[in-house]
Amino acid sequence: MDLTSSSITDGTPIRGEFAFGIPDEETHLVFGANRNPGLSWSGVPDGTRSLALICHDPDVPTKPDDVNKEGREVPDDLARTDFFHWVVADLGADLRSIDAGSFSDGVVPHGKARDITPVPCRLGTNDYTGWFAGDPDMEGRYFGYDGPCPPWNDSLIHHYIFTVFALDVPTLDLPDIFSGGDLRNAMEGHILDSASVMGIYTLNPRLAS
């Protein structure tokens, strides 16, 4: 399989148009346009009965002590973990593209509804669900795409990996509300092929300059 993007050039910075947070001189960050990037894929193998899509950032700090704190920077040797930004199951096997902005066009406090999709599919929750837990202005279940917003004081540039999976089943055995980890587990043993494209992003002015 081959995956390309009309919005992201592989290995290069992601534009603020596709980010949840963009730099701001006074407050460090403000909400971005938060549009999902456009994706297209080809070479789907014979026998594919459905597709799935994941976007994840493998560079998220595991300890919040230094995150977004004035006068401090998150060390680059801190242990990192995956943060899921987009989790989609049961896409049609004949689908070959997703238009930019079709799954997300703006930040929605408390999260977007899961039943509003441009194509038939099942949306999982992304990890802003946990990130905003306890914040009365933002907490909720975040379905669909919500883009990059790494710590503005992180010493690492973050990588955002978009992957489309070709699967040998028409639908996956998933709970009603599922996460990126749930989707990965459900796909085990059913992946015929996959393809990825990666963009990078930072809110740290030292790294962006």
Q: Tally the domains of the chain.
A: 1
Question: Is pLDDT above 70 for 209?
Answer: no
3-state helix, strand, coil in the chain (%, to 5): 10, 35, 55
Question: Taking the chain, what is the end-to-end CA distance rounded to the nearest angstrom?
Answer: 35
b/e per residue 162-177 (b: at least 16 CB within 10 A): bbbbbbeeeebebeee
Cα–Cα distance measured from residue 2 to residue 5, given in angstroms and rounded to the nearest whole number: 10
pLDDT, one tens digit per residue, over 51-71 is 999 999 999 999 878 899 998
Q: Which of 105, 90, 127 is nearest to 32 (CA)?
A: 105
Region 187-199 average pLDDT: 98
Domain that holds residue 7: 2-208
- Asked if 199 and 8 touch (Cβ cutoff 8 Å), the reply is yes
CATH of the domain at 180: 3.90.280.10
Q: Give the Cα separation of 124 and 183 in Å (integer).
A: 8
pLDDT-above-70 percentage for the chain = 100
